[in-house]
Amino acid sequence: MKLIKLVSALMLAGLLAACSPENVKDGDDAAADNNQQSQNTDGAQTGGINGDGTAGGTALGGATVSYEKSAINDVNNVLAEKVIYFDFDSDQISAEYQELIAHHGKYLAANPDMSVRLEGHADERGSREYNVALAHRRAQSVRRLVLFEGVNAEQVTIISYGEEKPVALGHDDEAWRLNRRVELVYEAR
């Protein structure tokens, strides 16, 4: 009896060995990357058409404040900052980022044909699925402030990666600080 059990177990093992890995189509990711590239190109092109990137004003800190469509790709514009950082195990947005998020909200309100994907992230400490939920709530916190500026809800989507996509690969306070973030990824709708 034991032998029969064993034989069947071994057959299963053999089958398992025969399984070739199911490859996820790289196409999806490659396509996503291309989109991102073309999106940047689109942004630049649109900027060329609009021509006038100087509307708005100059913030005291030196960064330009413009909600022109092309402004999203202007490295001197206040919108160039597209990452919001958080404290450990917190989804609270600190005062320093509230103004930045408001700028992004105003930009989206002024450009209803643009949309933003809020990508939530966590540092590596703690459990992984909890970090997915935590990073989701971070993105939600950003979304709430963005929508406060009168943005159409359809313009803002959320994806949480938890701790799965760190930008800093270290294992110290500095790396953790950089990884606790929400990235604003813009796309033309």
38: tokens are 């073309």
Counting contacts by CB under 8 A, is residue 3 touching other proteins?
A: yes
Contacts of 116 (CB under 8 A, 6+ apart): 104, 108, 146, 155, 156, 157, 184, 185, 186, 187
Tokens of 106: 């105003």
Would strands 64-65 and 83-85 be described as parallel, antiparallel, or unpaired? unpaired
Of positions 83, 140, 168, 177, contacts other proteins by CB under 8 A:
140
Does 187 sit near other proteins (CB under 8 A)?
A: no
Q: Mask of contacts with other proteins, 10-49, x by CB under 8 A?
A: x-xxxxxx-x-xxxxxx-xx--x-----------------
List 39, 65, 85, 137, residue binding other proteins (CB under 8 A)? 137
What tokens were used for 73?
């790709």
Residues near 100 by Cβ (< 8 Å), separated by ≥ 6?
Answer: 78, 81, 84
The residue (of 134 and 146) whose beta carbon lies closer to other proteins is: 134
The residue within the footprint of other proteins, chosen from 9, 44, 59, 80 (CB under 8 A), is 9
Contact residues: other proteins, CB under 8 A: 2-3, 5-6, 9-10, 12-17, 19, 21-26, 28-29, 32, 89, 124-130, 132-134, 136-137, 140, 158-162, 164-165, 169, 171
